[in-house]
Amino acid sequence: MIEGDASGESRRTARRGGASVTVSQVAHAAGVSPMTVSRVVNGDPRVSQATREKVDEVIRDLGYVPNPAARSLASGRQCRIGLLYSNPSASYLSEFLVGALAEAARHDAQIILEQCEAEADAAALVGQLRRHRLDAVLLPPPLCDDPQLVEALVGVGMAVAQVATGRPAEGAHTVCMDDEGAAAAMTARLIALGHRRIGFIGGDPRQASSQLRLTGYRRALAEAGIAMEAALETAGDYSYRSGLASCEALLDLAVPPTAIFAANDDMAAAAVAVTHRRGLDVPRDVSICGFDDTAIATTIWPELTTVRQPVAEMARMATQLLAGAIAGGAEERQAASDESVAFSLIARDSDGPPQRA
Amino acid sequence: MIEGDASGESRRTARRGGASVTVSQVAHAAGVSPMTVSRVVNGDPRVSQATREKVDEVIRDLGYVPNPAARSLASGRQCRIGLLYSNPSASYLSEFLVGALAEAARHDAQIILEQCEAEADAAALVGQLRRHRLDAVLLPPPLCDDPQLVEALVGVGMAVAQVATGRPAEGAHTVCMDDEGAAAAMTARLIALGHRRIGFIGGDPRQASSQLRLTGYRRALAEAGIAMEAALETAGDYSYRSGLASCEALLDLAVPPTAIFAANDDMAAAAVAVTHRRGLDVPRDVSICGFDDTAIATTIWPELTTVRQPVAEMARMATQLLAGAIAGGAEERQAASDESVAFSLIARDSDGPPQRA
DNA sequence: CAGCGGCTCGATAGCGCTAACAATCCCGGG
DNA sequence: CCCGGGATTGTTAGCGCTATCGAGCCGCTG
């Protein structure tokens, strides 16, 4: 009897830990019904300006925050997004996760990580996903390039977003960057700096991006009227080790290139290491450019001139697409959208004009 | 009459998209009450073996999966864990996230990323966290070493887990690795290989781990009866750039060290680069060891011998601690536990016995 | 054989929120 | 002055699950 409403409140908090404010409390304080509060919170347009302001004020005063569990239970709309990954580089995954999680928080969506081997049986995988009650799936490379997997996922009615894929699938959302254009732009940059012999270190041929980047490189050369030379195109696989070997081969040429463009930063970093070991300076003797703008690009010295692939932004967009698709229901899910993000060239310290021999 | 409950089902799915199986359906099919199904699902011991088996079977047949939203609404226990990060390295964050998310999925907990500047006002931050309805906070380095922040968080009754902190706070859970012991072990390894002059590249003095690693290095030297030498201890700040400078200084000594132990992998990678650029071989001329086993350790060549800090595992444990604390309620939250994980030495190709001069 | 405690299990009543529909109000036209 | 219709707000009834309490049942003691 010491506190008037203690019994009511203690009863409520008996089960729960936090004494959280509910719609009813807000409604009572604002002199409206809980439904109206709900409408205000959800931005329903059919609420008068006056009411909206009053409710908003009470919400602020009381520090009301909607309970997401109750919300998704009542509305029947929930949002669990699986992120299937196999073995992308740590920095890629990290940036991807940051983007996806940031957007997920805005939609009260949950991101569920799902490790998955590339060779896994698609059917078994789908079963696993259902067991986790996933409504949508985020597919970063290289998984996004597996047509069987994507098809199986779309087949069971899941919203699917392929990020940075080279093989857009029917019914799946895609968020891509113009890899070819970016590679062409970087090559053109080197040409503009005065380079005529530009070596290229290719990526893993099993990933679609590799081909696109090579094509971009060739296109830029062609547009500048520079003859292609097979010896200047070496085959890597996106690993540092392969970059080492490729760069050695390039520098061993009778007439070595004055610039090397690697299809990712790891290989570019390897090229820098090889070049240094040979007593050459970067960029004075050899210009070296990378691709992706991953952590290693700014870790090593000199910092790499590279193409910035906005991974976080792409993950964010993909997540948004999925959240929208889930909220919109089956109809909108059909209208899979293809978004594209802009790349940008990040000029740092690893390239410059060729040495005047 | 072909399907008895067809009408009921269609009515139910009118609102919702997915025709998900509910407890009631399972209960009906198993001939028990919904409550009993709930008990089985939650592993309540007060259910007879026979009933449990029957229900389990039906659950499997129907593919029932509990609805997490309903569950957390009904039980009042929800689990939103904030992950405050400032600017850790991408690979660290990535591994951390993977561990945390994996464990979070097991507890139906949600991880919410919260970017946060180190200088941010603790009070303002706490408000922000409440707005996101966080129940617990995961604090990776370097944020975990901010006493004000931790205190403020614990003060408002949030469960807090400091990961890899050097400053355990009252009332916070901690998950740590024995940095000092690991540094000592690595140093001892180099000594065992025959090295007597071992250079050390220190980390950012503002982070607690730096001091611990330096202490471990010194302890191992002392235990081996090797005199310490100030010139062999250089000051870095965990960045590649600082590793470059420190390594140059070390190799410029009148009698350069035969081995270099860097307090993290980035600086060790820089040391490898400098050594190579001087025309020296690693490990033949200089052994180089790192710390953390981040991506760069296996990216560069030779791959670094380093200390593996099980970041994912630590994040996993921290998340588990938090999930437990939230589920347990206020009483258990008091009993903040301090877990410790084992480090391990990863021997790769960057170290070996000193050259017989 | 009444009575008691332990073991299972079911009925009830919400958790906080929102769809769907009902009610109300205000306005101008008939 | 009454009525239809748009704009605004309230009422009802759950969403799927679980906390709580009580009912039924057993074997046991006195």
Is residue A335's pLDDT more than 80? Answer: no
User: Domains in chain B: how many in total?
Assistant: 3
As ranges, strand C nucleotides with an atom below 7 A of a protein CB are 7-12, 14-20
Q: Which of A272, A299, A316, A349 to mutate to test the interface with B (most CBs of B within 10 A)?
A: A299
Q: What is the CATH number of the domain that holds B139?
A: 3.40.50.2300
Q: Is B279 part of the contact surface with chain A (CB cutoff 8 Å)?
A: yes
| Separation of alpha carbons B110 and A109, rounded Å | 9
Decide if A113 and B101 are in contact by the 8 Å CB cutoff: yes
Q: Is B113 part of the contact surface with chain A (CB cutoff 8 Å)?
A: yes
- Do B125 and B26 share a structural domain? no
Q: Is B349 part of the contact surface with chain A (CB cutoff 8 Å)?
A: no
Q: Is the dihedral of CA A25, A30, A32, A36 positive or negative?
A: negative
- Residue A71 maps to a domain: no
pLDDT tens column, B86-132:
876 777 888 899 899 999 988 888 899 888 876 677 778 888 888 88
A22 touches strand C (CB under 7 A): yes
- Do A113 and A99 share a structural domain? yes
- Residue B72 maps to a domain: no
- Do A305 and A319 share a structural domain? no
- Do B158 and B275 share a structural domain? no
Q: Is B156 part of the contact surface with chain A (CB cutoff 8 Å)?
A: no
| Separation of alpha carbons B291 and B177, rounded Å | 12
Window B57-116, strand C contacts by Cβ < 7 Å: 70, 73-74, 76
pLDDT tens column, A157-195:
888 999 998 888 888 999 999 999 999 999 999 999 999
- Do A44 and A109 share a structural domain? no
Residue A325's closest CA among A134, A169, A118, A49?
Answer: A134
> How far, CA to CA in Å, does B330 sit from each of A6, B48, B131, B160?
19, 31, 20, 13
Q: What is the CATH number of the domain that holds A14?
A: 1.10.260.40
pLDDT tens column, B13-63:
334 334 689 999 999 999 999 999 999 999 989 999 999 999 999 999 999
CA(B23)–C1'(D24) in Å?
23
- Residue B165 maps to a domain: yes
- Quick one: pLDDT at residue B114? 86
Q: Which of A67, A102, A133 sits opposite B113 (nearest CB)?
A: A102
Residue A209's closest CA among A161, A262, A257?
Answer: A262
Closest nucleotide (C1' vs CA) to A39 is C18
Average pLDDT value for residue range A14-20? 49
Starting at the edge strand found earlier in the chain, the sheet holding A338-341 runs: A110-115, A80-85, A136-139, A159-163, A173-177, A338-341
- Domain extent for A25: 6-66
- Do A123 and A270 share a structural domain? no
pLDDT tens column, A241-270:
999 999 999 999 999 999 999 999 999 999
| Separation of alpha carbons B314 and B31, rounded Å | 44
Q: Describe the crossing of helices B240-251 and B265-277 by its angle, rounded to 10 degrees.
A: 50
- Do B162 and B186 share a structural domain? no
- Residue A253 maps to a domain: yes
CA(B48)–C1'(C7) in Å?
9
Q: Which of A79, A83, A91 to mutate to test the interface with B (most CBs of B within 10 A)?
A: A91
- Residue A112 maps to a domain: yes
- Do A294 and A220 share a structural domain? yes
Decide if A133 and B20 are in contact by the 8 Å CB cutoff: yes
- Residue A349 maps to a domain: no
Average pLDDT, chain B: 88
pLDDT tens column, A235-245:
999 999 999 99
